[in-house]
Structure formats: C-alpha cells, structure tokens
Chains A and B, each alone.
Chain A
C-alpha cells in the first residue's frame, strides 16, 4: 500500500465529507461520488501489493489479489445506480419546490414550537414558502392555516 494511495483516500474523504454536509442535494451527490471513490481506493489498497493481472494459468508467479477488485467493481456499479436515484430525487424536489435544498421536518418544528409555547409564532417564522399547485396532498403544509 503506497503513501500516495493513502493520501488520495484522505483527500477524497475530506472533500467528500465537506460536500455531504451541504444542504443542496446536487452538492451531496458530488460528495458521495468522492466518498465512493475513497471507499473503492481503500478496497484496492486492502488487497496488498500489486502483481500481474489475476488471470488463471498465465504462468506468472505473483498475481494481484482478485477479490478486492471484484468488491470494487460491485461497489462501483451500486454507487452508479444510487447516484442516478439521488439525482432523480433532486430533480423531483426541484419540480416541487423550485430548489433541491433538503428541508426541515415541518411536524417536528411544530411540536418543538408547541413545547416552547410559541405555537402561534411558528407559521410566520419557520414555514417555508410552498408551491400550492404541486402540493395538493401533504396535510402538514395546512397546519395552522
């Protein structure tokens, strides 16, 4: 395992965590892409020293460990599918609210407001503007109206 590999993993995790803590889903997706790369690199690093390609009966004395490569391939495929799903989710959020920001739990805020005796102050302060046309079903948005 080389120091360069470890340094890359560290850099990718650092940048990935920074992006994932953001509120915008498109940044979170980028963060996960970086974190996924970090995970795949560390899987590769866990296989030990590299050797010849792991092809059966090719006469090489030392071949690379094929197991981490199989792990990595599987992980990459799964990460690819999930990235697409999160992007679709971000798109849906954009259609509904005009942005892809992760919102607060409105019911949770309401309970907290009730607990601190500010039930009436809640709506004006915390409620996010809603797009009434696309939000016909959610009962939470009607709270207090």
Chain B
C-alpha cells in the first residue's frame, strides 16, 4: 500500500513523459494520458479504502528521518481529497479529448501531458508532510497552470496570463520567505515537527507566521482581498483548463490553509478568517451578478464559494472544520462540472455571453438538465450535495455562536440562486438563437456530453453518500484539531517492508548532521 502513495505522485509524471514521447500518434497519446489519470484515480481510491480501514500510511522517501527528509503522509483528509481531485481531472481529460474536434479545443499534444504534470503536483501538495515539499508541489501545479493558461498564445490569454503569473510568483516568493521564518524559529519545516514546536514558540512569532501563511495560501485560495486575479484570468483559458483551475487550484489552497492553520493551532486568528470569509462570499456573488458572460459569472462564484470553506475553518470547532472538509469535497466536482456545461454552451452557440445565447432548454434539454442539477447544488437547494454541506456549516456556525457569519452565508446563498437563475433565464429560456456555424462534429459533442454527465452523476453520488462522508469529515476534523494523532503517525518508526531500506551512508549522514546542527 505504501508503494501506492509514492506512485500517486510519480506515476502521473512518468505518464506525462510517455505522453510527450508518443505525441506524434494521437490515439496512443490519448490512451496514455487516460490510463495515467485512471491509474492515479484507482490508486487514490485504493488508498482511501485502505486508510479508512487501517489508518494513515506514512512513507519516508529514501528512508530519511522526518526532520531531514521528505515524508508523504496519506491520512484520511489527504486521501479523501486526492480521490475527488484525481477523479475530477480524469473527467476533464475525457471532456478535453472530445473538445479536440471543435473550434474552441485546446492543443491536444500539450493539454494531456500537462494535465498529468498538474495531477502529480496536486498529489504531492495533498500528500506531503513538510512545508518545503509543499512549496515545490505548488510550483509544479503553478508551472503547469501557466502553460495550460497561455499555450494558445492568444492576446486575451497572454494578457490575463501576465497578471496570473505575476500574482502567483509574488505569492511563491512570500511562501519562500515564510519557510525561512518557520525554519529560523522552529528549526524544522515538517508539519509534525512544527506541531510539536508550537507550545515552545513565542505567541507573537506564532501569530506572525500564522498571518503570513494566511496571506500566502489566501492568495492561492482567492480569499478576500486577495482574489482579484481570479475572475480576470480564468475565463480566458479554454474550457477544459478553466474547469480544472476552478475545481482544483483554489481548493488546494483551501486544503493547505485548513491543514496548516490547524497545525499551528491558530484559533486566535478565527475572527480574522471569519471576517474574510464573509466578505469573500458577498464580494464574489455581487461580482457574479454584475457579469454577462457565463464563464465570468462562474469565475466569480469560485471566489464566493471559497468563503464558505473559510467560514468552516474560521469557526475552529470540530463541526466547523468538518463542514469545511465536506464543502471542499462537494465543491471540487460541482465547480468543475459547471464550467464543463459552460463549455457545452459555448460549443453549441459559439459564445458563452448571455446576451448572445438563448432558448437552449428547448433545443438541448439534456444540456439544460446538466446545468440545472449542479446549479441547484451550488445554490444549496436540497437534496443536493451543496445543501448538505451548507447545512453542516450553518449548523456549526449557530453552535459556535457566530450568528453574523451565518446570516451572511444565507444571504450569499440566496444571491447565488439569483445569479444561477440569471444564467438559466438568459441561456436556457428566451427566444432561441441560431447555433454556431459550422456545428461541432457529433462524436465530439457526444464525448463532451458523456464526460459532463459522468461528473453530474458524481456530484449526485456525493449527495447520496452524505452520511458516510459526514462521519469521515468529523473524524478528519477531530484529528486536525487535536494534532497529536498526526505527530504520532509521522514519528512512528517505519515497520513496513515497503519503505526503502535505509542506506548505511544515509544513517551516518543523519547522525553527523544531528550532532552538529544544534
């Protein structure tokens, strides 16, 4: 099983290399990328089953001790998000293979392999047990996202790519400086080590580091007031790329934020996070209401929904963090599928601007249904997954006595519904508009619709599995807020034979450095 942990990171990278090597034969390349992503998803699913049954898996890469080397920690939180994330990328890749035959399609020889590199980065960011490897994982994700965003080299993409790259480079530099602060004050960058050092740390230093990383990860997660790069850059990319970005990139930011802030025990930052969460929800949804283009409306909703996850984290209670985890699981596929439907609209009408499309409900009833189901879920209408996740968060907010944030979240929910009805009225009702000329080939449309339907089915499955998922989320939240389980898991001596044997030289290195480092 431990092998699978490493494979989830290295596998997609190898598949990406293979995909580039066989780029000349499109069918072989598509098979390689699909198999690579399917294999990663399968490995993640196997890990989820194993971790749920037998507890977390810790892999010490190269057999180094956790304070010197890289550790990969597959605990329940990590593998749960890993399964959802890899399955989502797989669906998007299927959509992208369909989209190839159409006018809006991205360059096929690049998107597949780069998506695999992105998957590897996502796996590493989720599984890593130390801050510096997290930095490397973020860079892996970001570099692939830069390429995905700008590879067509169109004017709008280069323009938005500049903003996107500059903001993310700045956040990465702040991240590096933050790592220096952590290492200077605690002498380790390992999450378990940091958690152990926290009680010895001066309170001001702890708060400073917490705030610093709130800004770093908040930029990645598009938290208010650090969100303005997102609605600017996402809509310009090809649909498949936007779908992956919207579904995954900001959510990885939230995942890391939840993990790191609970590791630091930043309960005293709770009010700051709650305030940011409330403004994020309102600003995001207000921005969405002002927009006219489907992809831009959805991009603002990405921002708005981030607020809900931050709200759960800001409460710093088991119910709150569990709500945030459940919301994260619901949000990744729902957000992706909304953008895929946006891509279907664009493909059918040649535009995704609400003033240029209309009457789709009569012409394409299946597409209307594929939009309606996740839209209702996003707005939090029962019985969809969004309702379950929002109910959990609001319940936690009331129990925690934070009535203000509960009211704000309900208002934002109502406005989300309003914004979704705006898309519905604009694109699906009204007088039908002529379809794009020439229309896309039927086979391309069928593949895209199939991928979108699969993703919609996935979101409904999440609603159906809400009970077990909620139990899992509660377990995850308890472990996150307690912290001692994580420390024990990482520091436990490796007993599994799957771990590489420690080379004799490495042992000597470790001893001499430990003796001298203090």
Partner of B508, one of A51, A57, A105: A57
A138 at the interface (CB under 8 A from B): yes
| Listed residue (B139, B153, B155) with the most chain A CB atoms within 10 angstroms of its CB | B155
Known A78-B136, A137-B154; judge A102-B508 contact (CB<8 A). Answer: no
A32 to B166, CA, bound (A): 9
User: With contacts A35-B173, A115-B290 known, is A56 near B505, CB below 8 A?
Assistant: yes
Interface residues of A in 46-95 (CB under 8 A from B): 46-48, 51, 54, 56-57, 60-63, 65-68, 71, 74-75, 78, 81-82, 85-86, 89, 92-93
Check: B351 CB closer than 8 A to any chain A CB.
Answer: yes
Output the least CB separation between A11 and chain B (Å). Answer: 15
Q: Are B173 and A105 in touch, CB under 8 angstroms?
A: no
Are B516 and A62 interface neighbours, CB within 8 A?
Answer: yes
Any B CB within 8 A of the CB of A43: yes
Centre residue among A25, A51, A65, A105 by max chain B CB count within 10 A: A105
Known: A32-B169, A67-B183, A107-B296. A89 touches B154 (CB 8 A): no
Q: Which of A54, A71, A141 has the most CB of B within 10 A?
A: A71
Given known A-B contacts A28-B166, A96-B158, A138-B154, A68 and B136 have beta carbons under 8 A apart? no
Which residues does chain A contribute within 8 Å of B173, judged by CB atoms?
A: 32, 35-36, 38-39
Smallest Cβ distance from A96 to chain B, in angstroms? 5
Interface of A is mostly: helix
Complex Cα spacing A135 to B154, Å? 7
Q: Tell me, yes or no, whether A125 is within 8 Å of chain B by CB.
A: no
Whether, in the assembled complex, B292 has its beta carbon less than 8 Å from a beta carbon of chain A, the answer is yes
B155 contacts across to A, CB distance below 8 A: 96-97, 130, 134-135, 137-138, 141
A111 at the interface (CB under 8 A from B): yes
- Provide the bound-state CA to CA distance between A82 and B172, in Å: 11
User: Nearest Cβ in chain B — how far from A122, in angstroms?
Assistant: 14
A111 adjacent to B291 (CB under 8 Å):
yes
CA distance A139 to B155 in the complex (A): 10
Query: Contacts A20-B166, A86-B165, A115-B290 hold; do A75 and B176 have CB atoms under 8 A apart?
Result: yes
Most A Cβ at <10 Å: residue of B68, B172, B509: B172
Q: Chain B residues near A139 (CB, 8 Å)?
A: 351
Chain A residues with CB under 8 Å of chain B are: 1, 20, 25, 28, 32, 35-36, 38-40, 42-43, 45-48, 51, 54, 56-57, 60-63, 65-68, 71, 74-75, 78, 81-82, 85-86, 89, 92-93, 96-97, 102-103, 105-108, 111, 115, 130, 134-135, 137-141
- Taking Cβ atoms with an 8 Å cutoff, the residues of B that contact A are 68, 132, 135-136, 139, 143, 146, 150, 153-156, 158-163, 165-166, 169-170, 172-173, 176-177, 179-181, 183-184, 189, 231-232, 235, 290-293, 296, 351, 505, 508-509, 512-513, 516-517
